[in-house]
Structure 1
Amino acid sequence: MKPPSAGDGVLKPGVEVLEEQAASVFDSGKPVTTINLDDQIAASAEVLPVSLDLSTDRLQLGAVDIEHIHVTGNGVGADWKLDFDSEMAAGELKGTLGGETPLKLQLAHLRLPALEKKSELQQDPFSLEPFAEEAPDPWADFDFQVLPAIDFSTESLQLGDEELGRWSFNVRPSKERLVVSDIRGSVRGFRIEGRGKGGETLGAQLMWMRDAEGKSSSQFIGRLAADDLADIQRTMGHEPLIESKSASFDTALRWDGSPALVKGSLLSGELKIDIRDGRFLRSTGTAGSTVLRLLSLFNFDTWARRLRLDFSDLYKSGMAFDRVRGEVVFEGDGQLLIAVPIQVEGPTSELQMAGRVNLLREDLDLTLVATLPVSNNLALVAALAGGLPAAAGVYLISKAFKKQVKKVASVSYRISGDWADPQMRFERLFDGGGAERQGAASLKDKAEAVEEVGSGGHLRRQ
């Protein structure tokens, strides 16, 4: 028994839980505590304040075991404020257990074991092994409502030996969905943020939904921001393909299954790209995984060298740019649609790319437009236009396209075939709108395919 204490002139009873008197197990956010109490107090109808001072070698929180933890705090009924310290976690939990108001869990640190290492096939989110059985959803039977509504933050999140820094998010469970909102944190050099601008912007959001038939789907809306993308690629053990001063990727993506089943070839939604002040690095051709081979398709340094035009932005080590921007649409059937051209703005030149990339067949159908000063490229442009001798070509081109030649020349190319050996062919001269035209055509093809399904046909695989 806790000695009576004076408060407002009234003696108030209480209970003090010492480490030798109790062992606690928290399950589903609701405490079940065994305490040796006097029968008279245990039978009392009055809610008594409880003080905890508990040290234990092992505390079980649902499926999580915490070793060597010291917990102190006070509670009245379902209202609690607990402070705890252990090697795994240290911080404060406060709020009403089982109430409508979310609990607040604020940690100084949270140290979790490293994720289990996966095979190379499992690590590659675009892996498309044709004979591999589809992996079962490890979270298929997870009950959303076993989680409490909670506002979580930690000053330090550590995963194995990797320090991830500060993280925060809010968890809101219901029968049909689990919403993790206002996510702010960092992983592998990427900062997870909300989309948009301004100090009032909410963080990213992950939503996991389950319909009446038990079918799950997930969606992520947010921004991945970074400084130098080359540093991130090195951290992941890859040869850098691009370096930058800043980069942001605004995402609104959806996929079938739980968050554990995210897979690039099954995503639907959009990815907006904005990269500033950097270089596409000269490739050594050693990219191995599917995702790296996909990224190499958008290495504009490689395409610029294949054009054999004189880019003043092209150096021995790579192609410099001021900005890269564009939008990629994941269509949910293993295809990427680039309807709004990806634009590479250099100090003196510009490249645009639009079209379609198939992740399943690993083929592509793209239009690439190069716009650059004519001064050092007129002879080649003339030859492309009609195979004329260089000198005569320069003269005729300068006369026939006098207005355009004074500024810049735009040359469009068609790129098609397999990822491993894409074919490039010249299409048009002074074709600055070629990429936009290809993007619009790809979008039209998709609309016609969907319309055909609506009229009773089968969706055509492009």
Structure 2
Amino acid sequence: AQLQSSHGDWEGQVSAQELAGQLHWQAGAHKLSAKLSRLNLPLSSSANEPNDTSLGRQAANLPALDITVDALSYQQQPLGHLQLAMQPRSNGWQLDQLWWSGPEGRARLTGMWQRDGREGVTALRGQFDSQDLGGLLARFGYPDTLRRGRLTAQGALQWQGGVLSPVLSSLRGDLSLRAENGQFAKINPGVGRLLGVISLQSLPRRFQLDFHDIFSEGFAFNALTGKVNVDNGVFTLNDMKMTGPAADVSLRGHADLGRDRQQLRVTVEPHLSEGVALAGAALLNPVLGVAALAAQKVLQDPVGKLFAYDYEITGSLAAPDIRKLDRFGGDAPREKP
């Protein structure tokens, strides 16, 4: 390190295994500015690293920060470019800006951490975009969760606890999601609980004859849209829709991640009508095939709607209880696992 002092301020350069760049400390403003060429996190590999709660307490005592990192990495994984601006408040700290741009996406966040009892309260608001969500999840240690996938998400969340350790039962907020051109993989409910709910990976276990070919290898989607409301850890899906090459799916209901419970209504509409039209033209009568194809275009896939199924999913996230519903009234016979 090469540092020089002037009237209580310090500035200079530092080069270490964990970071390298220019530093500027303003004593009067109690502010640290840094322009780093690289930053490798975590800074310490000690077994006595502070937990997230103690990090929150330490953050309350931090000076104002204005940091730019050209090459950020976490546990040897390159993450891209980072800009961070935050300042202390009387009862916590305020995040004025966190802007991240990496190989698979970018995010912009604002927020705060406030003392409130032992763990404090965290609130974040922002937007996240990814052109390869599957690659990003793999970079953070969750491979084979999603293949490909573009995602745009925006909203606000608040919870008790530190930034990295939220208390699930205290989560509140709203999220808006739009994803394109992806495919769900087999998801461990303990890793991505909400993704496990949306992916409908539990359906092929119970309904081998209905949609085994659609969901068994992971549902592929062209578009996924929906809004999620969170209240005290309960995620409510407001008419979430997925359209894919094999079927259209809509979900509504709620999932309580903290208590490991869910109650969902799922409608699956397979894409059958175009094949029926072609079969009619080839095997039965060309006029019948043309009529079926015309009905498909005018009535928006009537044959697919005719063969649609409704399900009610309840119970735990890992071992749900799935019941097929009769679309014409009443309940269909319960399926055996």
TM above 0.5, yes or no, is yes
From 101, 105, 108, the counterpart of 2:34: 105
Which SS does the other structure have where 2:320 is aligned? Answer: coil
Distance 1:181 1:375, change over 3 A: same
In the alignment, the residues of structure 1 paired with residue 301 and residue 37 of structure 2 have an alpha-carbon distance, to the nearest angstrom, of: 64
Under a length normalisation based on structure 2, what TM-score does the superposition of the two structures give?
A: 0.72
C-alpha spacing 1:376/1:114, structure 2 compared with 1 (3 Å): farther
Is residue 67–residue 85 contact of structure 2 (8 Å, CA) maintained in 1? yes
For 1:315 and 1:94, the matched residues in 2 are separated by 55
Match of 1:169 among 78, 81, 84: 84
**CA apart distance, 1:137:** 3.3
1:175 aligned partner, one-letter code? S
Does the CA-based 8 Å contact 2:248-2:271 persist in structure 1? no
Could you report, residue by residue, the CA deviation over 1:101-139 in whole angstroms, capped at 9, with x for unpaired residues?
x55321122234467699xxxxxxxxxxxxxxxx99324
TM-score by length of 1: 0.55
2:113 is matched with 208
Greater Cα shift, 296-305 or 364-373? 296-305
* Alpha-carbon spacing, 1:265–1:86, altered in 2? closer, same or farther (3 Å): same
Give the length in aligned residue pairs.
301
Mapping for residues 367-406 of structure 1, pairs under 5 Å: 367-373=265-271, 375=273, 406=302
Equivalent residue, structure 2, for 1:366 = 264
Specify the code of the residue in structure 2 equivalent to 1:193: A
1:138 matched to 2:68? The reply is no
Gaps spanning 5+ residues in structure 2: where?
A: 277-297, 330-337
Report the CA distance shift for 1:70/1:263 in structure 2 as closer, same or farther (over 3 A): same
Aligned match of 2:234 in 332, 335, 349? 335
Indicate if the aligned counterparts of 1:98 and 1:148 stay in contact, CA closer than 8 A: no
- Structure 1 residues 300 and 216, CA gap change in structure 2 (3 angstroms): closer
1:186 to partner: Cα distance: 5.7
Q: Cα distance 1:115–1:377, how it changes in 2: closer, same or farther (>3 A)?
A: farther
Matched, 1:351 2:245: no
Partner of 2:70: 155
Distance, in Å, in 2 between the alignment partners of 1:240 and 1:331 is 30
| Structure 2 residue aligned with 1:270 | 174
Alignment of 1:443-462 (within 5 A): none
Residue type of the partner of 1:336? F
Do 2:106 and 2:130's aligned partners in 1 also have CA atoms closer than 8 Å? no
Q: How does 1:423-442 map to 2 (within 5 A)?
A: 423-428=322-327
**Cα distance in structure 2, aligned partners of 1:95 and 1:115:** 22
Q: Is the 8 A contact 2:200 2:215 kept in 1?
A: no
- Structure 2 equivalent of residue 393 of structure 1: none
SS in 2 for 1:290: coil
Q: How far apart, in 2, do the equivalents of 1:405 and 1:224 lie?
A: 34
Q: How far apart are residue 96 of structure 1 and its match?
A: 3.8
2:96 maps to what in 1?
A: 181
Change (3 A) 1:369 1:115: farther
1:164–1:406 Cα change, 3 Å: closer
Q: Please report how far the alpha carbon of residue 175 of structure 1 lies from its aligned counterpart in structure 2 after TM superposition.
A: 0.9
CA contact 2:113–2:120 (8 Å) conserved in 1: yes
Alignment check: 8 A CA contact 1:323 1:344 kept: yes
Distance 2:52 2:15 in 1: 37
Please report how far the alpha carbon of residue 141 of structure 1 lies from its aligned counterpart in structure 2 after TM superposition.
4.5
Superposed CA offset, 1:211-234 (max 9, x none): 6x7872111212333333333444
Equivalent residue number for residue 335 of structure 2: none
SS at match of 1:262: coil
CA distance in 2, matches of 1:176, 1:162: 34
| C-alpha distance in structure 2 between counterparts of 1:185 and 1:405, whole Å | 43
Residue equivalent to 1:303: 203
d(CA) in 1 for partners of 2:175, 2:56: 27
* Distance in 2 between residues matched to 1:206 and 1:247, nearest whole Å: 22
Q: 1:288 to 1:243 in 2, by over 3 A?
A: closer
* Superposition pairs of residues 283-322 of structure 1, within 5 angstroms: 283=186, 288=188, 290-292=190-192, 294-300=194-200, 303=203, 306=207, 308-309=209-210, 314=214, 317-322=217-222
Q: Tell me how far 1:271 sits from its aligned partner.
A: 2.7
- 1:34-77: CA deviations, max 9, x gaps? xxxxxxxxxxxxxxxxxxxxxxxxxxxxxxxxxxx233x463x2
1:81 to partner: Cα distance: 4.1
Matched residue type, 2:12: L
- The whole-number CA distance in structure 1 between the counterparts of 2:215 and 2:163 is 42
Q: 1:429 to 1:232 in 2, by over 3 A?
A: farther
CA contact (8 A) 1:93 1:106 kept: yes
Matched-pair contact (CA < 8 Å) for 1:414–1:427: no
Q: CA deviation at 1:294?
A: 4.8
Amino acid paired to 2:88 = P
Alpha-carbon spacing, 1:407–1:157, altered in 2? closer, same or farther (3 Å) = same
Letter in 1 for 2:121: S
RMSD: 3.8
Give the structure with higher Rg (CA). Answer: 1
Q: C-alpha distance in 1, partners of 2:148/2:197?
A: 18
Q: Distance in 2 between matches of 1:143 and 1:318?
A: 41
